[in-house]
Structure 1
C-alpha cells in the first residue's frame, strides 16, 4: 500500500464572477489551472448580501459538468429548457451541460450567510455533445457515517459501504465532505491512478508522511497511491476530499465552454450567438 503525499499546495484567489459575486477561486487560476478531470473549484462565502445577491444571471455552458454544493443559504436555478429548482443547505446539484445549456443561479435571500462550492468536471470527447441533464440531490438523500468521531458525507463514490447518490460513470468521482475533531485520524483507500485533492475550508489538517499541514483556504494536490491518511492535532477540520479518473484528452477552454479543439470552441460560440445553445 502506497501512501499518497502532498505534491502541491494552492491558496485561493479572491475574485468576482457572475454579476459581481465575490468568490474564492482555488482551482482554475495560473497557480493550478486544472487537475484532470477537474477544471475549477470556487468557494463562495459571505454574510454581506452585496457580495452575492446579484447572483449568476443567464450564462451558457458546453462540454463539462458543474457541481454546486450548498453548506448554508438558498440558490435557485432555471434554464432555457424549462428546468428549475432550489438548492438549500446540504443540497447538491450535479449538472451535465453536455451539448449546451443556458441557465441562471440566483441567491434567494437578502441577509444571512451564503456558503458553498462549485466544482467543474470535464466530460470526455464522446460525451461532450450529449443531452444536458440535472441531478438535483436533496441533503436527506446523501449518506453520512461516523467512524471514531470522524463524520463523512458521501456525495459521490463509495466508501465503507456507503454510496453517494451522484451518477457520473465516465470519471467515477469521489466527493466527500469530511469533519474531523481534534486529535483524529482517518485513512481512505482509492485507486492508484485517480487524480485527487483536498480542500480545507475550516481549521487545518495534516496529510502524508512526512507530514504536510494544510491550513484553511488551501488546496492540496496529492500524488499517486492507493491510500491516504488525514489527521488533526489540537484543531478540528472540515474539508472536501475529491478524486476522479483522469480523461487524458486535450482540453481547449474558453470561458463557459470546454472542448477538445479550437474548432469546437468556435462552433460553441457560433451556436450560442445564433440561439442554438
Structure 2
C-alpha cells in the first residue's frame, strides 16, 4: 500500500502504546496520554480509553470527586453514563454523545454507569484551561449523537465534534481558548483521510480499532489499535486505513505554553494556587 503525501504534510514524530490502568472506583482503562510512556501534549493533559463487556471492569464508575482548572471531555461509543454535579446539573450520555465540561473554579461531580451488563466504551479527555479561565464559573456543552455532523469523504467517514471539516462543516462544541479540533474518523480498508490543521496547533491520532498508515520522516508508519501517534509541524494530516480499516480520533489544539501545577483532580499554574484548591475543597467552597 502506498501513502501519498507532500512536504507540507505533518509527519508522525512519536508513537506510543496505551498503558493499562484504573481510575475512579476501579474502572479499567487504557491511558494514552498522561502515562509514563506519553506525558501531556500541551494543552492536552490526559486521554483515557475505556472499553469492556465485563461489568466488573466499569460498574464502580467514578463516584463523587472534585475538579478545578481544566475541562473534561467524555465521548461515548457504547453504553450509558449518568453524570451529576453539586451545582444541579445532571443527565445521561449515550452512544455517540459528547459532554464537554468546564470545571473552572470548581465543582464536585460523579459519572456512573446506567447499566449493569453489556459493552461500555468511550474516551475521556482532559484539556488544560488558560490562567484567565481557571477560576471561571463551571459550564457544560452537551450534544446528542444526532447533533454531531458527519462528513462522508469517499473512504473516510468523519464525525466532527469540534473544529471545522474539509467541507466547512463545523462541530457543535466551541473551545475558543485553545481552538480545539476533535474528530472521530472511520476508515474503509485503504481509505484515506486528509485534513488541514492550523499552524502551531499540537495534534495527534489516537487509533482505537484496526490498523492504519501515517507519514513518518523516513516513510509510512504502521499504527495499531490503542496507540497514540504524535504529529509534527506542517499544513495538513493524512491517515490511510489498513486491511480491515480503522477508527481513530484526531485531536488538535493551540498550546497554552503556561506553567502547570497539577495535583490529582486540580490543575493550576502555581503551587500556591494548587494548595489553595485543596484548601477550598476541604472548606466546602466547591
TM (normalized to structure 2)? Answer: 0.95
Residue 127 of structure 2: which of 121, 126, 141 is its match?
121
- Secondary structure at the counterpart of residue 8 of structure 2: coil
Look up the match of 2:171: 164
| Aligned twin of 1:189 | 196
**Which whole-Å CA distance do the structure 1 matches of 2:207 and 2:78 have between them?**
17
CA distance in 1, matches of 2:235, 2:282: 46
Comparing 98-107 with 231-240, greater Cα deviation is found at: 231-240
Cα distance, 1:233 vs structure 2: 3.5
CA distance in 2, matches of 1:81, 1:179: 37
**Separation (CA, whole Å) in 2 of partners of 1:187 and 1:119:** 23
The equivalent of 2:150 in structure 1 is: 144
Query: Structure 2: how far apart are the matches of 1:198 and 1:147?
Result: 18
Q: What is the deviation of 1:184?
A: 1.2
**For residue 231 of structure 2, what is the aligned residue in structure 1?**
222
Runs of 4+ in 1 over 3 A off after TM superposition: none
Matched ranges for 1:249-260 at <5 A: 249-260=258-269
Segments of structure 1 that go 5 or more residues without pairing to the other structure are none
Provide Cα deviations, 1:82-124, integer angstroms capped at 9, x if missing partner.
Answer: 1101000100000000000100000010110000000001100
Residues of 2 paired with 1:186 and 1:133: CA distance? 33
1:239 and 2:245 aligned: no
Mapped to 2, the partners of 1:183 and 1:267 lie a distance apart of: 52
CA distance in 2, matches of 1:238, 1:224: 23
Aligned to 1:201: 208
Tell me how far apart the structure 1 counterparts of residues 242 and 158 of structure 2 sit (CA, whole Å): 18
Answering whether residue 112 of structure 2 is matched by residue 106 of structure 1, we say yes
The answer to whether the aligner puts 1:60 opposite 2:69 as a matched pair is no
- For 1:156 and 1:82, how far apart are their aligned partners in 2? 26
Q: How many residues align?
A: 277
Output the CA distance in 2 between the equivalents of 1:234 and 1:33. 30
Whole-angstrom distance in 2 between the partners of 1:220 and 1:19: 29
Deviation of the 1:192 alpha carbon: 2.1
Check conservation: 2:198, 2:235, Cα contact below 8 A.
yes
* Rounded Cα–Cα distance in structure 1 between residues aligned with 2:34 and 2:63: 21
CA distance in 2, matches of 1:113, 1:233: 25
For residue 40 of structure 1, the aligned residue among 15, 36, 46 is: 46
Partner of 2:275 in structure 1? 266
- CA drift of 1:266 comes to 0.2
Aligned to 2:16: 10
Q: Deviations over 1:156-203 (max 9, x none)?
A: 000121100001111010000000000111211111210000011000
Instruction: From 43, 53, 56, give the equivalent of 1:50.
Output: 56
Superposition CA RMSD, Å: 0.9
Gapped regions of structure 2 (runs ≥ 5):
1-6
* Counterpart Cα distance in 2 of 1:234 and 1:45: 23
How far apart in 2 are the matches of 1:66 and 1:17? 15
